[in-house]
Amino acid sequence: MEFFTLNNGIKMPMAGIGVYTFTPDEAEAAVENALRDGVRLIDTANAYQNERATGRAIRKSGVKREDIFLVTKLWPSVYEDENAVDDTLRRLGTDYVDLLFLHQPTDNWQAGYRNIEKAVKAGKVRSIGISNFDVFPGLTESAVDFAEIKPQTVQVEAHPYYPQTELKKLLKKYGIGLMAWYPLGHGDKALIEEPVFRELAAKYGKSSAQIILRWHVESGNVVIPGSRNPRHIRDNFDIFDFALTDEEMEKIASLDKSLRYYNGTPEQIAGFKAWAPDFDAQK
């Protein structure tokens, strides 16, 4: 395993598993399998409605809590709720989380950020970040300026077709990490089948997906690919026994198309605040 050192000195694994779109049963099985196969970073969220299942899997796995880097996200409907962090911890069945994001940049994000800063000071959260703020130009920089505790990580869409080159220049100034969702381009066949990935897969005895995930790690990105398949979970994590050359990294860099698969509109993002996860119905 390789690690990214956050700007507060905490080390975050460079690869883990995400449970976006997973049912509680699927999340529980996937997280338990991942932990038993050596994965130590788990990413969930209020909005995924599988936090309880994720917590159960952690306890069932037998892996010590302190050896797991647990990530979750507050949803905008609870940004201003002073009990939101405690409620999240109760669902997960833990005393703390290693990284807590604000999930969406709705108009109450500043109140939400102050809440997660309080959680850091109270010892309930080890590090904090912002997710999807890149959809609004300049907002990430505004959030960094607003923050008393600078974000340790941002979570954004990133992949070889959209490598977030400009955003990463800003993040580098503050030592802020990047956690990539859609790291494989939302399963875009065109990306996966790019000739450079096929060639490198043959050279290193890996799959094209593993080459892309390795590119992320060598670019400094943390990856959280989701899979319900135990073999795919193992394969997604089997990317630390080889390294790409500088020339190969440059070839992959040439694939940048400024193509993102998610383009949230202001109206859509504003609507996120009105929707609330059904926490009581969670399994």
Q: Of the candidates 174, 182, 163, 150, which has an alpha carbon nearest to the alpha carbon of residue 261? A: 182
For the chain, the first-to-last Cα distance in angstroms comes to 32
Residue 167 CB-half CA count within 13 A: 29
**Tokens 């990935």 -> residue:** 197
Residues sharing a CB contact under 8 Å with residue 160, sequence separation 6 or more, in sequence order: 185, 191, 194, 212, 215, 252, 253, 255, 256
Q: In sequence order, what DSSP letters do the residues of 123-168 get, joined into one string?
A: TSBS-EEEESGGGSTTHHHHHHHH-SS--SEEEEE-BTTB--HHHH
Check 48, 79, 113, 161 and give the catalytic one: 48
CA distance 156 to 187: 16
In the DSSP assignment, the letter for residue 97 is B
Confirm if 70 and 42 have CB atoms less than 8 A apart: yes
Q: Of all residues in the chain, what percent are helix, strand and coil, respectively (each to 5)? A: 45, 15, 40
Is 20 annotated as catalytic? Answer: no
The catalytic residues are 48
